[in-house]
Each structure stands twice: as C-alpha cells, then as structure tokens.
Amino acid sequence: MRRQLLKAVKRVVIKIGSGVLTGGNSALDMAVIGRICIDIAALREQGLQVVLVSSGAIAAGRSELGLTEKPRTIPHKQAAAAIGQTRLMRAYEEAMQPHGLKVAQVLLTSEDLASRQRFLNARATLDALLGFGIIPIINENDTVVVDEIKFGDNDNLSALVTNVAEAGLLLILTDIDGLFSADPRQDPAAKLIPLVKVVTRDIERMAGGSGSTVGTGGMATKVAAARKAGRNGVATIMVPGKQNGIIAAAMRGDEVGTLFLPSSQGLNRRKHWIAYTLKPAGRILVDDGARDVLLKKGKSLLPSGVLRVEGRFDRGGCVRVCGPDGKEFARGLSDYSAGEIGRLAGHRSGEIEEILGYRYGDVIVHRDNLVML
C-alpha cells in the first residue's frame, strides 16, 4: 500500500524536529544533518521536490549562548531563535553543498498565513524556489510571535505547509520510532502502530502527553498534524529521524514508522485554510435544528437558526459554529459582523433588510465558506 501511495507524490514536506537535529547538549548534530542531506539529495535525483520545515533554532541558539536549560521567558526564546536560526541555516547550507544543492530560508507566522493574499504569496515564493531547484527551509518567525499568535509548534506549521506548498506527503522526522499504543518510555509493553487509517479519538488519546525536552511538540501535536494534513488529502509518515537512511527508506515504501492515511473527506485547499489556518474571532451558537441541517445536508447557516453570537468580528471574519451546548462542530467565514448577527438572531432571512436597513444576502455563513470539523 505504501508504495502505491508514494508513487503519486511529486512534492514532499519533511518536518525535522529539534530533538533530531541536536545532540544531548542541544548543539546541532552535524552528523545527523549530513545524513539527512544525503537522503534529500537522493530524493532530488529521483525528481522529487522537497520542502523542509525545520525546528532547532532555539536549541542551537541556546547552545551558542551556553545555556544549560531551555530558555523560559518569551524574549529569551526569541533571542535564542534569532541567534540559532543563522547557525541552523549555515549547517544546512554546508551539508547540502557537497551535493550541489542550495537552500533558502522562509520564516512564517500564523498571521501571515491567515491573510489569503499572503498565503498565496508564500505559495508563489515556494513555487519559484522549487522551480529554481532550491530547497526551501521553513521555520516559524519566532522573533515576532507570542503564544496567542503562534502556530503553536512546527508540527502544526508543517501540516499547514502541505497546503501552502501543495505537497503530496508529509514526512515527520522525530525522536521516537513512530506512534505507539502507549508511551514507550513508561510502558515496556507499548507497541509500534505501523498504520493509522483514521485519526480517531482513541488514537488522539493514545498520543496524549508524550512530550520532548528539546522541541515544543509531542506525540499529540504530531497526531494532530497528521489529521490536518489528512484533511488536505495528504498522508503523513512519522519516522525516527536520527536513523541512518530513514528518509530514503520511508520514501521507498519500507514499513518504517507510522503511516497515517489521508481522510476520505478531504477538503479543498481554500476550505482547509479556513478550517486550520485562520484564527476564529468569535462564535455563533445555533439550535439543534440548524446543526442537523448543516451537518447532514451541507446547507448554509440562516439567521433563523442562530441562538446567539460571541466575540467581535467584521463581515468576512472567521467564526466557530457551535451547537446549543457550545461545542464547535464547524468553522466558517461570516457574511455579517458580530453586531449584525446579534440583531438578526432567530429572525427569518426575509426580515434582514427590515432589521438592518440593508442586506448582503440571505445567509449568515454560506456553505461555500463553511467547513464541518
């Protein structure tokens, strides 16, 4: 099955975690980086396009500063990232050079990708770089982000990048062998799971809590990334990144690590962007009837089904659509502002003009802008 799936892949996003790139003292491990670059050069020879999402800036900066622990405050993390990012790029540059490959640095923030225009600009830049035969190396622009506007972790970023880069596969290089039935560091009976057909709640629970000491992500963020990539129609393979030749083995279709199949209900790229890249600015609570119609019939949300609205957003804003219990089941772009929806809640579409004095249309969230989660 793996071979079949890999045959169709022309462009791959490879996510490399800090734990893979660094040794015990958090310094960059040039031997590992060298091996990774050998594998990447081989993929290029086979005609594959490669986009890297690489962590390791904070770790490399920390080692440069001689800090024995992970920096704690945000400015210290940002400073470490600024110092480490240049070291990281230099390491890749040096390791790629013997293979005749060149690299480019792309730093992104989630706010960048939340603007459709910037998102498309990033896509065009990546396309141009790949067209020149360059390997783009993406990291979060740590200098300007704080928690609320962060991608959260590079696992999440890599899943979003499969959309930006229109890639066919996400390969996650991490510091354990794949997804296990329990945390292998605590439970010796834990078994490696080679194939995940659907990321169910059980799978998410299995992944909960196993964090790393170097990067920010853990197994849970990797499973969440696989789910997001899957909804973009992209499979994820998670493998032990320090192992010699592991990228080549994974891309050959060997049974290494864990393969997550893409979801059968893939989203188009724009809807994927709405669901996963945009940050919602508020929520609209709807009644049971409206929830049923949205979930089962794929209709638009009308004002009559709206119970109430929370948050502040303008027309075009991204909103969570929640049932009467407050549980989010869909996400979309609103045709009306929060203030307008407050006045329209519970009314028929035919009354919109009378209530507001104008109307943009009959619906609050159009089905073309609505994604079930």
Q: How far is the CB of 217 from ligand GLU (least distance, A)?
A: 5
22 belongs to the binding site for ligand GLU (CB under 6 A): no
29 belongs to the binding site for ligand GLU (CB under 6 A): no
Q: How far is the CB of 148 from ligand GLU (least distance, A)?
A: 16
Taking the alpha carbons of 201, 202, 208, 214 in that order, is the dihedral positive or negative?
negative
55 belongs to the binding site for ligand GLU (CB under 6 A): yes
Interacting residue with ligand GLU among 28, 51, 81, 294 (CB under 6 A): 81
Interacting residue with ligand GLU among 26, 78, 110, 154 (CB under 6 A): 154
Burial (CB < 10 A; 0-12, 13-18, 19+), residue 104, is middle
Is residue 66 classed as helix, strand or coil in its secondary structure? coil
Binders in 190-219 for ligand GLU, by CB under 6 A: 215-217
Taking the alpha carbons of 20, 97, 35, 227 in that order, is the dihedral positive or negative?
positive
Q: How far is the CB of 17 from ligand GLU (least distance, A)?
A: 6
Q: Which is nearer to ligand GLU, 215 or 317 (CB)?
A: 215
Residue 329: CB atoms within 10 Å? 15
110 belongs to the binding site for ligand GLU (CB under 6 A): no
174 belongs to the binding site for ligand GLU (CB under 6 A): no
Question: Minimal CA–CA distance to 58: which of 270, 215, 212, 171?
Answer: 215
Distance from C-alpha of 5 to C-alpha of 359, rounded to nearest angstrom: 48
142 belongs to the binding site for ligand GLU (CB under 6 A): yes
33 belongs to the binding site for ligand GLU (CB under 6 A): no
Distance from C-alpha of 107 to C-alpha of 128, rounded to nearest angstrom: 16
Q: How far is CA 205 from CA 88, 201, 208, 223, 235, in A?
A: 33, 6, 5, 10, 20
18 belongs to the binding site for ligand GLU (CB under 6 A): yes
56 belongs to the binding site for ligand GLU (CB under 6 A): yes
Question: Minimal CA–CA distance to 235: which of 264, 273, 276?
Answer: 264
Q: Which stretch binds ligand GLU (CB under 6 A): 52-60, 111-119, 266-274, 355-363?
A: 52-60
Binding site for ligand GLU (CB under 6 A): 18, 55-59, 81, 139-140, 142, 153-154, 215-217
